[in-house]
Amino acid sequence: MNHHLLLIIHLVAATIWVGGHLYVCLCVLPGVLKSKDAGPLLRFEKSFEPLGMPALVLLVGTGIWMALQFGVYPSQWFSFASPLERVVSVKLLLLLLTVVLALSAQLRVIPTLKQSAARLNEMAVHVVLVTLIALAMLVLGSFIRYGGI
């Protein structure tokens, strides 16, 4: 597929992923922590999922496809040997961290949140970390047109 089209899809997906997480951090989380009521956070997570998950899948698909077009192949990943490959490898590690945090939130924190709000702070840490990682992925992506890191 044409690289420019892949980049446009990547950017729209990044807008959704980063924008959704900034919204939850800046607009939903403060009220939830103040009222100690996880309801609005859980409702936002549920309503964002059908848009956010396809966006993340598209980010990974278009990201890996564009990396291949730049000559960064899976055999080179995690060798940290060239500037472009370093960006791709760090992005993949951050993606892995995102998946681990999402699984930890879904399997460990959210089920207990529904019974008690005591683990609200732990949930907030998960949300803030995923948002910071999303921003880091965005900043890393912007380095590619300047030759990588």
Residues that bind ligand HEM (CB under 6 A): 7, 10-11, 14, 17-18, 59-60, 63-64, 66-67, 70, 88, 91-92, 95, 134, 137-138, 141-142, 144-145
Q: How far is the CB of 92 from ligand HEM (least distance, A)?
A: 5
* Reduced DSSP (H G I as helix, E B as strand, rest coil) percent helix, strand, coil of the chain, to 5: 85, 0, 15
Read off the tokens for 29: 């989380």
Q: How far is the CB of 100 from ligand HEM (least distance, A)?
A: 14
Return the number of the residue (75 or 142) whose C-beta is nearest ligand HEM: 142
Q: How far is the CB of 112 from ligand HEM (least distance, A)?
A: 27
Q: How far is the CB of 123 from ligand HEM (least distance, A)?
A: 20
Return the number of the residue (46 or 145) whose C-beta is nearest ligand HEM: 145
- Is 101 in contact with 129 (CB distance < 8 Å)? yes
Provide the 10 A C-beta neighbour count for residue 101: 17
Return the number of the residue (44 or 91) whose C-beta is nearest ligand HEM: 91
Return the number of the residue (33 or 104) whose C-beta is nearest ligand HEM: 104
What CA–CA distances, in Å, run from 134 to 21, 69, 113?
Answer: 8, 23, 24
- Is 25 in contact with 49 (CB distance < 8 Å)? no
Tokens 């709000």, residue? 117
Q: How far is the CB of 31 from ligand HEM (least distance, A)?
A: 25
Rounded to whole angstroms, the Cα distance separating 94 from 136 reads 8
